[in-house]
A and B are shown apart, each in its own frame.
Chain A
C-alpha cells in the first residue's frame, strides 16, 4: 500500500510537472503572439540577444563535437560494414543516424548544458533577488519578459543548429570516408545525398523544434520554482540540466516511435 501510494504520488507529481511545463510554454507562446505594441522593439531585441547566446555562440563547440561524432559514427559503422565488404554504405549509415537521431540529440544536449542551465540560473537568480517581484510590481509579466524571448530564440535556433550539426557530422564522416574507405570528396557527398530522404532531415528538425521547446520550458520552470536563498539557484540549475536531458530523451523516444509506425515503408 505504502509502495503503490508512493508510486501513485510520484506519477501524479510527474503529470503535474508536465502540466506546468505545458502551461508555461503556452503562456509564453501567447505572449509572443499577443504582446502589446508598446515595447515590441525591446522584446524583439531581447529575443535577438537570446538567439545570439543560444545559437550563434554555440556554433564553435557544436561544430567540434558533432564533427567528432561524425568521425566516430563512420568508424563504428565501418567496423561492422567491413565484415560484409560493404564499406560503400558508410555514408548512408553516417547520414541517416545523424540526421534522424544524433544530430538533434547531440545538439540538444549541448544546448541544455549551455543554455538550459543558463536559463535556470538567470531566472533563479532574479527570483532570489526579488527581481521577478520587481517586474511584477512594474506590471511586467515575467513570462512575457523573460520566457517568451527565450522560447522564440530556442524555437528558431534549435533547428538551425541541428542542420549545422548534421552538416558537420557528415563532414566528419567524410574525413574518415576519404582517408580510410577509399571515397573521394565528391563521391562521398554524392553517396550521402543519395542515401538521404527529405523525411530524414525533416523528422530530425521536428525533433529539434520539440527539444527547443522542452529545454526552454524546463530551464525557465526550474528558474521560476527556485526557492529562497542563493544555494537554491545552484540546485535549480542542476535540476534543469538533469530533467531536460530526461525529458528530451522521452520526447525523442516518442517521436522516433511515432515516425517508425507512421512511415510508409
Chain B
C-alpha cells in the first residue's frame, strides 16, 4: 500500500483538505465554517468536548452528511460536487469505524469483516477467509469469527468495527472514538494498532478521541473543536505548550467555571431579558 498520491487540486498535496465547512442538521448549524488539512501518512487527532461536532465532522468527511457550504477535498475529489459513482470509488479507499460500532447485527463478526471484500474484491473465498483472520488477529479478536455482534462485549465490538474498517486496506482510516469505553490495556492496543498501520502502510488516519494520553501518543497533529469551530490546530508539541485558554482548559481538565450563586443561575435560565429589566 502506498500513500495517497499527491493531487493538484488539493493544497500542498494533502490527503484531505477542508475549507470553510458548514454543516447543519435542519435549522441548527453544527459546524461553523472550519478549515484544516490532513497530510498523507499522518494521523490527525480531533479533540473536543461532547457535542462539539466531532462525529458530525467525521460523518461529513465520508459523505454521510451534506455540507451546507464549503469544500472537502478527498482523493482529488470535492465531496460537494462528487458524482455517486466517484463517491463509491472513493469509499472503497477509505475505512470508517463508527462511534457505536455499527456492526451488522444479522451477520457474524467474520461476515462483517469479510463483507466489503466479498462485495468489492475479486479474491476467492479462502483468501478472504485468511485476510479476515489476519484482521481479527490484529485487533486481538482471533477466533471470534463465528460470534454474533450481540455476543461480544462493548470493547470487542469496537475492535471488530476497527477490523472491518481496515478490511479493504484503505488509504485513509476514520476512527470515531475507537478506544472510548475500553479498558486501558485494550485501549493501548488500539493505539498501538493505529501506530503500526501508519508505520507499515503509511495510512492516513483521522481519529476522534477523548483520551488525552492516547491523543498525544498517536497524533502527529491535532485540532481542538469547540462548539463547531476549531480553536486550535497544530502539531502535538504546539498544542502541548499552547497558551490558548480553551486548549489549556481541555488539556488541564479544568471544568466549566461554576455559576456563582443561585440568582445568576436563575437569571441564566430566564435569559437576558430579566437581567436587563432589573
Contact = CB atoms under 8 A, between A and B. Distances in A.
B13 interface: no
B64 A137 contact: yes
B154 interface: no
A135 to B, nearest CB: 8
Contact of A138 (B59, B100, B115): B115
Given A38-B122, A136-B64, A137-B96, A131 B102 contact: yes
Given A136-B91, A137-B64, A137-B94, A131 B104 contact: yes
Interface of A: 38-39, 42, 122, 125-126, 129-131, 133-134, 136-140
B94 A42 contact: no
B100 A137 contact: no
A133 B105 contact: no
Contact of B91 (A38, A39, A42, A138): A138
A133 B119 contact: no
Contacts of B73: none
Contacts of B122: 38
B123 to A, nearest CB: 10
Contacts of A122: 106
Interface string B84-103: 00011101101110111011
A45 to B, nearest CB: 11
A74 B278 CA distance: 83
Interface of B: 59, 62-64, 87-89, 91-92, 94-96, 98-100, 102-106, 115-116, 118-122, 164, 168
Given A138-B91, A139-B88, A42 B64 contact: no
A122 B62 CA distance: 24
Q: Kindly name the residue among A125, A129, A131, A133 whose own CB sees the greatest number of chain B CB atoms within 10 A.
A: A131
5 contacts: A38-B120, A122-B106, A136-B64, A137-B94, A137-B95
B102 A139 contact: no
A38 B118 CA distance: 8
B91 A134 contact: no
A100 B63 CA distance: 49
A130 B102 contact: yes
Contact of A129 (B62, B94, B100, B115): B100
Nearest to A42: B118
A39 B116 CA distance: 10
Contacts of A42: 118-119
A134 B105 contact: no
Nearest to B84: A141
